[in-house]
């Protein structure tokens, strides 16, 4: 089926094309779309060159799916035009996520909310996706009361410009800065835009999106987002307080048996998740699973996943796969 990738020349857009190819999504024609400066460029899909077109040309082509990774302003402007033409938009930006009429989907968790006629579907924030993948089976059994989250986020979450900044710093080259500070040999507690309450937009997303995906507005959460100089994926230290008590072996079993999640946890052998392990992989890795000894019914988890793959591109393609499987297009 005809499929457009909007923002095809970016880091996530290119990975979306790669994932469509890897997973043998039934693409009859791929339409890579990007900004005017990229129109006419060749990208490779299934070993053959495909020309980048304008977003307007992609709309006119009336694809079955348009998978977006081009920023909130692009999604705001163009997603309704695709939808009006009958295309199903799967949007990776933040723009539609908290719209009450737009489903926010991690297929392994809440694909049941998707229905025929949905024309705009939101892909959650990368940090949210990996966290809820680990938390969903636990929430179903023990009911989450409160989350305390610290993220350690890869520079790939900011894009090519940030990766280039880090690489330049490592080579001693002065170049364009994606951040206000050097990132190599450094980290800073700043992801997104600071709000009047002192939290950033990235921190707020972790609260709002988790509640929506897990379908529980009562979950309390507080987060600190930190950017670190790695490329392999995002890491999260998550402290979870439940309403019901748990046994650690049951927790491990629940997480292990959840699709797409791997328990990687044996401290005696220095076995724990790291970005270097998750790089270019679709699984969410969970380790350092232990009871919080300072408080009852509390658990500590360390969660790592490739933010460009499961955190963005793979999740979006999985949504499209589900729509095809259930004939919801």
The Cα–Cα gap between 86 and 82 comes to: 7
* CA dihedral sign of residues 187, 160, 192, 204: negative
The Cα–Cα gap between 282 and 162 comes to: 22
Beta carbons of 277 and 286 less than 8 angstroms apart:
no
Beta carbons of 300 and 239 less than 8 angstroms apart:
yes
Beta bridge partners of 238: 149, 301
**Per-position DSSP letters for 66-127, written without gaps between them:** EEE-S-HHHHHHHHHHHHHTTPEEEE-SSTTTT-TTS-B--HHHHGGG--TT--EEEPPPHH
Is 234 among the catalytic positions?
yes
The two three-digit tokens of residue 19, written as one number: 């994932």
Surface-to-core class of residue 7, CB atoms within 10 Å of its CB (0-12 exposed, 13-18 middle, 19+ buried): buried
Q: How far is CA 91 from the centre of its chain?
A: 11
Indicate which residue of 126, 190, 279, 298 is catalytic. 126
Indicate which residue of 190, 234, 279, 298 is catalytic. 234
Please work out, in degrees rounded to the nearest 5, the angle formed at the alpha carbon of residue 172 by the alpha carbons of 167 and 174: 85
Element (H or E) spanning 237, and its range?
strand 234-242
Beta carbons of 314 and 301 less than 8 angstroms apart:
no
Please work out, in degrees rounded to the nearest 5, the angle formed at the alpha carbon of residue 214 by the alpha carbons of 109 and 263: 55
Question: Side by side, which strands form the sheet with 261-263?
Answer: 220-227, 144-153, 234-242, 298-305, 284-291, 261-263
Is 112 among the catalytic positions?
no
The Cα–Cα gap between 155 and 297 comes to: 34
Catalytic positions, please?
126, 234
């Amino acid at each position: 089926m005809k499929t457009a990738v909007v923002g095809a020349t970016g880091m996530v857009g290119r990975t979306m094309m790669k994932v469509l190819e890897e997973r043998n999504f039934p693409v009859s024609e791929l339409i890579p779309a990007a900004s005017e400066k990229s129109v006419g460029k060749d990208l490779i899909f299934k070993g053959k060159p495909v020309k980048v077109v304008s977003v307007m040309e992609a709309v006119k082509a009336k694809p079955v799916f348009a998978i977006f990774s081009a920023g909130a302003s692009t999604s705001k402007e163009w997603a309704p035009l695709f939808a009006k033409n009958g295309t199903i938009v799967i949007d990776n930006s933040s723009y539609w996520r908290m719209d009450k009429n737009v489903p926010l989907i991690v297929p392994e968790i809440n694909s049941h909310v998707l229905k025929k006629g949905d024309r705009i579907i939101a892909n959650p924030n990368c940090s949210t996706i990996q966290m809820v993948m680990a938390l969903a089976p636990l929430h179903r059994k023990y009911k989450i009361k409160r989350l305390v989250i610290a993220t350690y986020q890869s520079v790939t979450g900011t894009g090519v410009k940030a990766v280039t900044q880090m690489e330049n710093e490592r080579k001693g080259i002065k170049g364009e800065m994606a951040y206000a500070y050097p990132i190599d040999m450094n980290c800073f507690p700043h992801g997104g835009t600071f709000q009047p309450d002192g939290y950033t937009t990235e921190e707020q997303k972790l609260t709002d999106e988790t509640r929506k995906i897990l379908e529980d507005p009562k979950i309390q959460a507080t987060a600190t987002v930190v950017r670190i100089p790695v490329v392999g994926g995002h890491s999260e230290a998550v402290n979870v307080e439940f309403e019901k008590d748990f046994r650690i072996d049951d927790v491990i079993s629940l997480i292990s048996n959840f699709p797409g999640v791997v328990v990687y946890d044996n401290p005696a052998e220095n076995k724990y998740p790291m970005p270097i392990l998750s790089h270019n992989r679709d699984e969410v890795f969970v380790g350092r699973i232990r009871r919080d000894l300072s408080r009852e019914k509390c658990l500590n988890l360390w969660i790592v996943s490739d933010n460009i793959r499961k955190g963005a591109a793979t999740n979006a393609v999985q949504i499209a796969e589900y729509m095809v499987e259930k004939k919801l297009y």
